[in-house]
Chain A
Amino acid sequence: MTETFRRMLRSPQGALGLLIVGLILLVVILGPALAPYNPDTMAPLQRYKPPSAQFWLGTDQYGRDILSRLLNGARATVVLALIATGLGTLAGAMIGTVSAYLGGRADEAIMRTIDAVMSIPSLLMALLIVNLLGKSSLNAVLAIAIAFTPGMARVTRSVALAVRKQDYVNAAIARGESAGFIVWREMLPNVVAPIIVEMTIRVAFAVMLFATLSFLGLGAQPPASEWGLMVAEARRFMHLSPWMILWPSLAVALVAIGFNLLGDGLRDVLNPRT
Chain B
Amino acid sequence: MATILDIAGYNLDYATPTGFTRALDAVTLSIGGGEVLGLVGESGSGKTSLAWAIMRYLPQSAREAGGIRLRDKDLIAASPAEIGAIRGRRIGMVFQDPSTSLNPTLPLGEQLAEVLERHRGLSRKQAWAEGEAMLARVGLKLPAQMMRRYPHEASGGEKQRVVIATAFACQPECIIFDEPTTALDVITACQILDLFAELQAETGVASLYISHDLALVSRVATRVAVIHRGRIVEQGAVAQVFAAPSDAYTQKLLAAVPRPDHRLVETTPDPAAKPLVEVEKLSVHYGRKPFLAKLLGREGTRFTGNREVSLAVQPGEILGIVGESGSGKSTLAKALTGLNPFEGGLRFDGRPIAGIGDMDRAYRRDVQIIFQHPDSSLNPRQRIREILSRPLALYGKPGQGRGAEAIGDLLEQVRLPRSYAERYPHQLSGGEKQRVAIARAFASQPRLVICDEITSALDVSVQASVIELLVDLQRRHGTAYLFITHDLNLVRQIAHRIAVMYRGDLVELVDVAALPAGASHAYTRSLLDAVPAPASPSA
Interface residues of A (CB under 8 A from B): 104-105, 108, 166-168, 170-177, 185-186, 189-190
Residues of B within 8 A of A175 (CB): 364, 368, 390-391, 394
The smallest beta-carbon distance between A188 and chain B, in angstroms, is 9
A171 x B394 contact (CB < 8 A): no
- Distance in angstroms between the alpha carbons of A185 and B381 in the assembled complex: 9
Residues of A within 8 A of B394 (CB): 175-177
- Distance in angstroms between the alpha carbons of A3 and B369 in the assembled complex: 36
A173 x B339 contact (CB < 8 A): yes
Q: Which residue of the partner chain B has the closest CB to A178?
A: B394
Instruction: In the A-B complex, list the 4 residue pairs whose CB atoms are closest, starting with the nearest.
Output: A167-B377, A176-B364, A189-B381, A167-B371
Residues of B within 8 A of A105 (CB): 291
Q: A104-B288, A171-B369 are in contact. Are A190 and B381 (CB under 8 A)?
A: yes
B500 within 8 A of A: no
Q: Which residue of the partner chain A has the closest CB to B365?
A: A176
The smallest beta-carbon distance between B309 and chain A, in angstroms, is 19
Q: Which residue of the partner chain A has the closest CB to B387?
A: A168
Known: A168-B378, A176-B361. 11 other contacts (CB 8 A): A167-B376, A168-B379, A170-B334, A170-B377, A173-B339, A174-B338, A175-B394, A176-B359, A176-B364, A177-B390, A186-B379
Q: What are 29 of the A-B contact pairs (CB < 8 Å)?
A: A105-B291, A108-B291, A166-B376, A166-B377, A167-B373, A167-B376, A167-B377, A168-B379, A170-B334, A170-B339, A170-B369, A171-B369, A171-B371, A171-B377, A172-B390, A173-B339, A174-B338, A174-B339, A174-B364, A175-B368, A175-B391, A175-B394, A176-B359, A176-B361, A176-B364, A176-B394, A185-B382, A189-B379, A189-B382
B337 x A174 contact (CB < 8 A): yes
- Distance in angstroms between the alpha carbons of A104 and B290 in the assembled complex: 10
- What interface size band does chain B fall in? 20 to 34
B380 within 8 A of A: yes
Q: Which residue of the partner chain B has the closest CB to A173?
A: B339
A190 x B391 contact (CB < 8 A): no
Residues of A within 8 A of B378 (CB): 168
Scan residues 364-400 of chain B and give those whose CB is less than 8 A from a CB of chain A. 364, 368-369, 371-373, 376-382, 390-391, 394
The smallest beta-carbon distance between B452 and chain A, in angstroms, is 9
- Distance in angstroms between the alpha carbons of A171 and B338 in the assembled complex: 10
- Distance in angstroms between the alpha carbons of A172 and B391 in the assembled complex: 9
Complex interface bits, B333-348 against A, C-beta within 8 A gives 1, otherwise 0:
0100111000000000
- Distance in angstroms between the alpha carbons of A116 and B198 in the assembled complex: 61
The smallest beta-carbon distance between B285 and chain A, in angstroms, is 15
- Distance in angstroms between the alpha carbons of A104 and B291 in the assembled complex: 11
- Distance in angstroms between the alpha carbons of A170 and B338 in the assembled complex: 10
Residues of A within 8 A of B361 (CB): 176
Q: Which residue of the partner chain B has the closest CB to A104?
A: B288
The smallest beta-carbon distance between A21 and chain B, in angstroms, is 25
The smallest beta-carbon distance between B391 and chain A, in angstroms, is 6
Q: Which residue of the partner chain A has the closest CB to B288?
A: A104
Q: A166-B376, A190-B381 are in contact. Are A174 and B369 (CB under 8 A)?
A: yes
The smallest beta-carbon distance between A181 and chain B, in angstroms, is 8
Scan residues 228-270 of chain B and give those whose CB is less than 8 A from a CB of chain A. none
Scan residues 266-304 of chain B and give those whose CB is less than 8 A from a CB of chain A. 288, 291
The smallest beta-carbon distance between A138 and chain B, in angstroms, is 35
The smallest beta-carbon distance between B435 and chain A, in angstroms, is 15
The smallest beta-carbon distance between A72 and chain B, in angstroms, is 41
- Distance in angstroms between the alpha carbons of A170 and B381 in the assembled complex: 16
- Distance in angstroms between the alpha carbons of A249 and B349 in the assembled complex: 74
Complex interface bits, B133-168 against A, C-beta within 8 A gives 1, otherwise 0:
000000000000000000000000000000000000
Residues of A within 8 A of B379 (CB): 168, 186, 189-190
Residues of B within 8 A of A166 (CB): 376-377
Q: Which residue of the partner chain B has the closest CB to A189?
A: B381
Q: Which residue of the partner chain A has the closest CB to B370?
A: A171
- Distance in angstroms between the alpha carbons of A174 and B370 in the assembled complex: 10
- Distance in angstroms between the alpha carbons of A177 and B379 in the assembled complex: 14
A168 x B376 contact (CB < 8 A): yes
B364 x A168 contact (CB < 8 A): no
- Distance in angstroms between the alpha carbons of A170 and B334 in the assembled complex: 9
- Distance in angstroms between the alpha carbons of A190 and B369 in the assembled complex: 22
The smallest beta-carbon distance between B144 and chain A, in angstroms, is 39
- Distance in angstroms between the alpha carbons of A105 and B292 in the assembled complex: 12
Q: Which residue of the partner chain B has the closest CB to A187?
A: B379
- Distance in angstroms between the alpha carbons of A214 and B338 in the assembled complex: 54
Most chain B C-beta atoms within 10 Å of own C-beta, residue among A171, A175, A177: A171
Q: A104-B288, A167-B371 are in contact. Are A173 and B377 (CB under 8 A)?
A: no
Most chain B C-beta atoms within 10 Å of own C-beta, residue among A105, A166, A177: A166
B371 x A170 contact (CB < 8 A): yes
B390 x A190 contact (CB < 8 A): no
Residues of B within 8 A of A167 (CB): 371-373, 376-377
Q: Which residue of the partner chain A has the closest CB to B363?
A: A176
B377 x A190 contact (CB < 8 A): no
Q: Which residue of the partner chain B has the closest CB to A105?
A: B291
- Distance in angstroms between the alpha carbons of A105 and B379 in the assembled complex: 27
- Distance in angstroms between the alpha carbons of A244 and B380 in the assembled complex: 52
- Distance in angstroms between the alpha carbons of A168 and B394 in the assembled complex: 16
The smallest beta-carbon distance between B68 and chain A, in angstroms, is 29
- Distance in angstroms between the alpha carbons of A177 and B444 in the assembled complex: 14
The smallest beta-carbon distance between A1 and chain B, in angstroms, is 14
Residues of B within 8 A of A185 (CB): 382
Q: Which residue of the partner chain B has the closest CB to A7?
A: B17
Complex interface bits, B49-82 against A, C-beta within 8 A gives 1, otherwise 0:
0000000000000000000000000000000000
- Distance in angstroms between the alpha carbons of A185 and B288 in the assembled complex: 29
Q: A175-B390, A175-B394, A176-B361 are in contact. Are A168 and B369 (CB under 8 A)?
A: no
Q: Which residue of the partner chain B has the closest CB to A6?
A: B17
Residues of A within 8 A of B369 (CB): 170-171, 174
